[in-house]
Amino acid sequence: MSTTTVGDLLDRAEALASSLRATGTETTTGQWRSFDSTTHRLLHELVGPERIGIRTEILNHATVTRIINGYPSPMATPGSEKTYNALQAASHLGVSHWKIVADIRRQRLPATFDGSRYRIKATDLSPVPQVQPADPASTHPLDRLSCTLGVLADLIAAERSRPTTIPGFDPLRDDAEVTPVMARVLAITLVAARYTLVNIPLQEADRPLLIARYAARALDALGDVNRPSSLTQVASFAPPTKARGPNEELEVTLRSWATHARSELARTVPSTAVLRDVANQAGHLYAVCTALVMDSFTAGNLSGRDAELVHRELRAAAQVMHRLQEPWKTVTTATRPNHEYVTATTALHARLTSIQQENLSPGNHTLSAGRINVDQALADLRFTATDLSELTYTAAQLPEPLLRAGLIFAPARILPATVERMRDRNLGRYVAMQHEEGTELIDTAEQGSSAARRAQATLEISLRPVATTELPSQTLAAGPSSQDLEAATSRSGPDLF
């Protein structure tokens, strides 16, 4: 699986930081500056923009804001796209906050005012010494650590730039989820600074000492953050260009479909065929997940209690998705999906059907286990379940504005009869639906979004180790019957034309 998560990169960074203690390699000023600059950029990306509007969010964000504001004057600007507030700009330039405010008021420093804070573009600040990025080919442990943290900063920046966010399900905008990750980064920084103090020329030791003291104070300010964070599950994908084997084929088809589905839903007028297909693919994916979970249970990799819960919850989610498709069958926006999406959805349907048939056919569990790695497939499908949470949430926001704009059409004969529609009914024409006539579209879309979120949470259970106490194995050993999954599996393939 060509997937890297925030948690994977943090684990690697912590392992590299631990290895620093076992090495006595001399560190150059350039290597330390690269690490220093990269650390500041990563913390800057984690903290993100200041909160506005909601008082509780502003207060909760204050702690992490104070931490990034207190970072000793960084060696380099985090990025040309960034903006600073006045405190951050003062820290960057090594001057007082009031000097920055005075420069802004005297129009010596360009800035905008958002009602509560000044915003200063990074490119408008005074130039700083150039810092060379760490050499990715270097074997020096500090260079390797800098590269790892740099990749992590890129991943966080990419995640924060996503246009679609689900309220309550966006860890980067939840400070309770961000602070445990910040604490791990600060602990790594403290270890690296202490290592550098011993191995850098004495005349260059002031900066590592300053950063070590800063990291220690920041960790104290964060308090007890020894708790899991859903932010560690945020992932970056790099599927192979040429798939080899069933697992790579599954990964490629899942990633391609999710990417094209986002593009389709972002169109000015999305196709109702795509809205219907998202629900269809979701139900199909949940059925395949259920079959693989049964394989995982049979192999002893999942507890009976968890397998039963996954089976029950995913079956319920698949039924919701089946109902969600129905209202979209009789309406249209007169928009057709792009050819790329049709190709991607057809390939995904074929791949899921192949896996499903292997796992639901009697006596085929041993054979399928030899052809596909079940645990790896479940990991890929869990990531796509996260994509489905985003896609169904986006889809749930579309019916109402499309109805209000008169862009959803239905056969006049199935809509309430009016004088204006009499001729259209006789001629079999499509007419624009009124907002009140699309209540079912709005309601079922919201139900689908909620079901996708519940399914995503349920699938995370399969990550847990087998519990010491299990339910009687005979209740699950046979796996789900075909009748149990009939609503989710009896489909004729994508219908996008």
Give the tens place of pLDDT for each residue, 293-335.
Answer: 888 888 777 777 878 888 889 999 999 999 999 999 999 999 9
Look at residue 476 in the predicted model and tell me its pLDDT: 41
Structural tokens at position 371: 């052809």
Quote the pLDDT of residue 489. Answer: 43
Q: How many domains would you assign to the chain?
A: 2
The two structure tokens encoding residue 63:
């702690």
Residues 167 and 295 in one domain: no
Q: What is the pLDDT of residues 342-362, one digit of tens each?
A: 999 999 999 999 888 775 555
In the predicted model, is pLDDT for residue 122 greater than 80?
no
Are residues 473 and 354 part of one domain? yes
174-189 pLDDT, tens digit per residue, is: 888 899 999 999 999 9
Domain boundary among 204, 233, 262: 233
Tokens of 46: 């984690």
In a domain, 117, yes or no: no
Helices of type H across 70-128 = 86-93, 97-105
If you average pLDDT over every residue of the chain, what do you get? 83
- H-only helix segments in 266-373: 272-298, 304-329, 339-360, 365-371
- Report the relative pairing of strands 409-411 and 3-5 from DSSP bridges: unpaired
pLDDT digits (tens, 9 = 90+) for 219-253: 999 887 788 888 888 888 888 888 788 888 999 99
Residue 53: what pLDDT?
A: 66
Give the range of the structural domain holding residue 298, as residue numbers without chain letter.
Answer: 242-489
Q: Which two tokens stand for residue 309?
A: 């819960």
Distance CA 20, CA 22 (A): 5
The rounded distance, in Å, linking the Cα atoms of 371 and 247 is: 9
**Given this model, what pLDDT does residue 375 score?**
84
d(CA 12, CA 7): 9
- Give the best-scoring range by mean pLDDT among 73-82, 161-170, 320-329: 320-329
Cα–Cα distance, 246 to 460 (Å, whole number)? 23
Residue 308 sits in the same domain as residue 224: no
205 exposed, middle or buried (CB, 10 Å; 0-12, 13-18, 19+)? middle
Q: Is residue 116 part of a domain?
A: no
Distances in Å between the Cα of 105 and the Cα atoms of 109, 178, 354 are: 8, 34, 67
**122 domain-assigned:** no
Residue 40 lies in a domain: yes
Instruction: Assess if residue 113 is contained within a domain.
Output: no
Inter-CA distances, 495 with 271, 273, 276, 323, 333, Å? 12, 7, 9, 16, 15
Using CB atoms within 10 Å of the CB of residue 417, give its burial: 0 to 12 exposed, 13 to 18 middle, 19+ buried: exposed
Q: 206 and 335: one domain?
A: no
